[in-house]
Amino acid sequence: MTASPHPPRPDHRAAAALCALLGSPEDLRQPGVREAAERARDLLRSGADADELASCYRALDTALRRNGDARGLVSESRGGTAPGITAHIKVAVCPGPTPCPRIERARDLLPAPYCAVNGTRMRKGRLGSAR
């Protein structure tokens, strides 16, 4: 048996989901979940190898599902709620009654750009699938 030239990489999505789970006291109340989550956290902090982490993540996923959490560990709803992660893109769109297709990136700390057509600032919104 030969060793793989590329060692397995840790699952960053699972680490983000673990962070969100550890920040959710109601999810940690389920039997067996807190222990599995804390073990995964400790392995992650200690720099454990990817195989050991993957095994621990599977055990945590099983514990969550056994307790009725259909999302398991890694899902869009859990990973997307980690502090500092935004699940949407903020944009500035035309505020007029007949909006033009102009879309600008909306920065959090700056006001929306000026709309020369309607004579007012653009409004901030989320980039949806319709745009």
* pLDDT digits 0-9 by tens, 75-106: 655 544 445 555 567 888 877 776 667 788 88
Percent of the chain with pLDDT over 90: 5
* pLDDT digits 0-9 by tens, 6-31: 444 556 778 878 888 888 888 888 88
What does the CA dihedral 56, 41, 44, 3 come to, rounded to 10 degrees? -10
